[in-house]
Structure 1
Amino acid sequence: MDAAQWDERYRASAGGVWATQPPAVVREIAATLSPGTAIDVATGDGRTALWLAGRGWACTGIDFSSAGLALAAARPGGDAVTWTTADVHDWEPAAPVDLVVSCYLHLPDSAAAVARIADWVAPGGTLVVLGHDVENIAAGGHGPTDPTILYTPELLRGALDERFRIERCERVTRTSADAELRDGHPTAAVDTLLHAVRE
């Protein structure tokens, strides 16, 4: 989907597309970190950026959908985040940050996109990437069904260079209690998680 299609989807939604909380595993990792500067890549309607800002992070949320960002900015706490309409392929932060988070960014060049956002992590900072795994198709979980844009641990591990120490890179199962969509979904989903620290 392109930016115009996502704008349409956000405008048609009743208050937002995604769940109000970030995925549980993202909350679990971020909760262990001292707040600093952060970028939420493909923030959508802002759930992860708002959660981080609420815990003291100076957060920038970027997305190519201006409609999604308008929903995010209108939420409680929305004025605590810097919302930026931008494409991950073109945008650059003014300076590296302490935390870069990307949830469910699926592109034809996903490995290259992950390598690019990894460059935004400051030395000593953390990168967290979570997305639908290719095994999610067979599992019947919610999400894209095009295997060429889905993740595997091998794909995400291979996107990083020697500057990063990988803490976790594995498949994780997300239950319906940790639904991605605002109105929930009944099935479990198989995701790939990458948690890495820049040396």
Structure 2
Amino acid sequence: MDAAQWDERYRASAGGVWAAEPPAAVQEILADLAPATAIDVATGDGRTAVWLAERGWSCTGIDFSGEGLALAAARPGGDAVTWVRADVHEWEPAAFVDLVVSCYLHLADSAAAVARMAGWVKPGGALVVIGHDVENIAVGGHGPSDPAILYTPELLSGALDGGFRIERCERITRTSADAELRGGHAATAIDTLLHAVRMR
């Protein structure tokens, strides 16, 4: 979907598309990190960026959907985040940050996008990426059905240069207790989760 299609989806969403908080596995990782500077890539309607800001992070949320960002800014706590309408292929931060996080960004060049985001992390900082795994198609989970844009552990780990230490890179299973969409859904879903730390 392009920016115009996402704008339309957010306009029709009656308050937002995604669940109120980040995925449970992402929350678990981020809760162990000391608040500092962060970028939430493909922030959508802002759930991860606001969650971070509420915990003391200085966070920038970027997305190419103006409608999604309008919903994000209107969230309680949304005024604590810097919202930027931008494309991950073109935008550059003014400085390296302590955390780059991205939830469910699926592109034709996902590996290149992850590599680009990794370049924004300062030494000692973390990169956290989660998205639908290619095995999600077989279990009937919500998400894209094109295997070419879905994740695998090999794709995400292969996007990093030798300057990173991989803490986790694995398939995880989500249930309805950790639904991606606002209002939830019953199906089990398979994601790929990456947590890596820049060493140099």
Corresponding position of 2:78: 78
Q: Secondary structure at the match of 2:137?
A: helix
* Pairing 1:146–2:137 present: no
Structure 2: gaps (5+ residues): none
Q: Distance in 2 between matches of 1:6 and 1:24?
A: 24
* Pairing 1:59–2:97 present: no
Q: Distance in 2 between matches of 1:138 and 1:5?
A: 26
Corresponding position of 1:40: 40
Cα deviation digits, residues 11-31 of structure 1 (max 9, x gap): 111110000010000100000
Corresponding position of 2:19: 19
What amino acid sits opposite 1:88 in the alignment? V
Q: Distance in 1 between matches of 2:183 and 2:145?
A: 20
Q: Distance in 2 between matches of 1:158 and 1:136?
A: 20
Corresponding position of 2:8: 8
Cα deviation digits, residues 29-70 of structure 1 (max 9, x gap): 000000000000000000000000000000000000000000
TM-score by length of 2: 0.99
Corresponding position of 2:113: 113
What amino acid sits opposite 2:52 in the alignment? L
What amino acid sits opposite 1:55 in the alignment? R
Q: Which runs of 4+ in 1 moved over 2 A?
A: none
Q: Secondary structure at the match of 1:195?
A: strand
TM-score by length of 1: 0.99
Q: Distance in 2 between matches of 1:36 and 1:68?
A: 25
Question: Percent identity among equivalent residues?
Answer: 82
- Superposition map of 1:97-108 within 5 A: 97-108=97-108
What amino acid sits opposite 1:38 in the alignment? A
Q: Displacement, 1:111?
A: 0.3
Corresponding position of 1:89: 89
Q: Distance in 2 between matches of 1:157 and 1:100?
A: 15
Q: Distance in 1 between matches of 2:139 and 2:122?
A: 36
Q: How many aligned positions are there?
A: 199
Q: Distance in 2 between matches of 1:45 and 1:98?
A: 22
RMSD: 0.4
What amino acid sits opposite 2:60 in the alignment? T
Q: Distance in 1 between matches of 2:152 and 2:19?
A: 23
Q: Displacement, 1:183?
A: 1.6
Q: Distance in 2 between matches of 1:167 and 1:42?
A: 23
Corresponding position of 2:192: 192
Q: Distance in 2 between matches of 1:174 and 1:92?
A: 32
Structure 1: gaps (5+ residues): none
Q: Displacement, 1:102?
A: 0.4
